[in-house]
Amino acid sequence: MSYLNSTLLPQRGAHPVSTSIIHLVGTLQLYGACTLHLLYTLPPLLFVDTHELAQRDASYAFEHWGTRDLERPVHALPNELSELLLTVRLPEAGADIDVPETVVQVEVPMHLRYGAPKRSGVAQTKPYLPLEVEWPQAFLRCRTSIPNHPPSSLSLSEHVSSALPSIHESILLAIPPHSSFSAAPWSPLVIPLGNPQDLSVVEPLTALTILATFFWLLRVSCKVAHRLNSAVKRPKTV
């Protein structure tokens, strides 16, 4: 039976990458009348850059629902989930009919928003926020049934269904997580948060840095202006 494995790494980085590996039973010839899809449901703290995904059109096409603001922290946005639907481009079918399975790997770069600052209860420690991200939902949309893929009771929202490629009288075939995982596996992330106690140090240092940079630029500008004026006033030699 086909199955899905997925990871979201690094767990403590600001730019994790979701790597999903889909194991399809049999050769690609079996899936000639199918399209392969991954549906991601992302919490507000995690987002994708649609401009970045557009550069991966050789691997998949996508549809995105939710906020596309890349700069705002999470507490400045509505507390809403976002969704990402991928239509994965399957590799070309080969002539080998004895291959027991076909493996498809999909990578999606993701990014973390700045979380709301939180006061740490212990001195000199940084507050962290654990985040659980559900695995993507993998499924096939086929014109006909596929061996070892019993039809499933997979239900999709109307906006997701309307974004799927048009196939007349199609059926949906869910690709479950590997049997060693639970029915709804998730990937853990650890997000560092700002500490309001640090403002008394960060704000003065930031102001001093900006002021020092201003005086440095002013000094350089004066030197350049003096050099240019000297060159203009210097008499020409015959």
pLDDT in tens, 31-81: 888 899 999 999 999 999 999 999 999 999 999 999 888 888 888 888 899
Residues sharing a CB contact under 8 Å with residue 195, sequence separation 6 or more, in sequence order: 117, 118, 119, 120, 126, 127
pLDDT in tens, 194-226: 777 777 888 899 999 999 999 999 999 999 988
- Does the reported pTM lie above 0.75? yes
Closest CA to 130 of 185, 78, 193: 193
pLDDT in tens, 131-158: 999 999 999 998 887 876 776 778 899 9
Q: 238 pLDDT band (50/70/90 cuts)?
A: low
